[in-house]
Amino acid sequence: MKIDAKEIKNILAIRTDRFGEFILTLPAIFALKENFSKSRLTVMAHPYSTELIRGNKTIDEILEYDDSLNRGIVRTIKTINEIRKHRFDLAVIFNPKKKFHLITFLAGIPIRVGYGRKWRFLLNRKIKDLKSLGIKHEIDYNFDLVKAIGVDSDNRLPSVFIDKEEEGQALKILAKRGINNESGFIIIHPWTSDSIKQWPVHNFIELAVKIVKETNLSVVIIGGKEEVIKSQEYFTNLNDSIIDLTGKTTLKELAGLFKKTKLLISGDSGPVHLACCVDIPVIAIFRSDIPGKSATRWGPKSKGSIIIEKNNLDDITVAEVLDKVRSVIG
User: What are 24-68's pLDDT values in tens digits?
Assistant: 999 999 999 999 999 999 999 999 999 999 989 999 999 999 988
The residues, ordered by sequence, that sit 6+ positions from 193 with a Cβ below 8 Å of its Cβ are 18, 269, 270
For the domain made up of 5-147, give the CATH fold: Rossmann fold (3.40.50)
pLDDT tens-digit series, residues 222-232: 999 999 999 99
Torsion angle, alpha carbons of 138, 248, 286, 209, to 10:
160
Q: What pLDDT score does 112 carry?
A: 98
Per-residue pLDDT of the chain (330 residues; tens, 9 = 90+): 678 888 899 999 999 999 999 999 999 999 999 999 999 999 999 999 999 999 899 999 999 999 888 888 999 999 999 999 999 999 999 998 999 999 999 999 999 999 998 899 999 999 999 999 999 999 999 999 999 999 999 999 999 988 888 888 888 888 888 887 666 899 999 999 899 999 999 999 999 999 999 998 999 999 999 999 999 999 998 988 999 999 999 999 999 999 999 999 999 999 999 999 999 999 999 999 999 999 999 999 998 899 999 999 999 999 999 999 999 998
Q: What pLDDT score does 162 carry?
A: 85
Q: What pLDDT score does 181 carry?
A: 66
Q: What pLDDT score does 263 carry?
A: 96
Nearest to 302 by CA among 327, 272, 268, 259: 272
Give the pairing type, strands 40-45 and 125-127. Answer: unpaired
* CA-to-CA dists, residue 163 to 22, 30, 160, 259, 262, angstroms: 20, 19, 10, 12, 20
The predicted model scores a pTM of 0.95
Paired with 10 in beta bridges are: 40
> How far apart are alpha carbons 259 and 257 in whole angstroms?
5
Give the other-Cβ count within 10 Å of 225's Cβ.
10
The residues, ordered by sequence, that sit 6+ positions from 171 with a Cβ below 8 Å of its Cβ are 181, 256, 260
> How far apart are alpha carbons 284 and 216 in whole angstroms?
22
Give the other-Cβ count within 10 Å of 72's Cβ.
8
Number of H-type helices and E-type strands within the chain: 12, 12
pLDDT tens-digit series, residues 161-190: 888 888 888 888 888 888 876 668 999 999
Q: What pLDDT score does 104 carry?
A: 98
* CATH of the domain spanning 164-329, picked from 3.40.50.2000, 1.10.1200.10, 3.20.20.70, 3.40.47.10: 3.40.50.2000
Q: What pLDDT score does 27 carry?
A: 98
> How far apart are alpha carbons 279 and 285 in whole angstroms?
18
The rounded mean pLDDT for the chain is 94
For the chain, residues classed under CATH 3.40.50.2000 are: 5-147, 164-329
Nearest to 325 by CA among 243, 206, 237: 206
Q: Check residue 194 and report its DSSP letter.
A: S
Give the other-Cβ count within 10 Å of 18's Cβ.
17
> Any alpha helices (H) in the chain, and if so which ranges?
19-35, 47-50, 73-86, 98-106, 138-147, 164-176, 201-215, 228-235, 251-260, 270-277, 295-298, 318-329
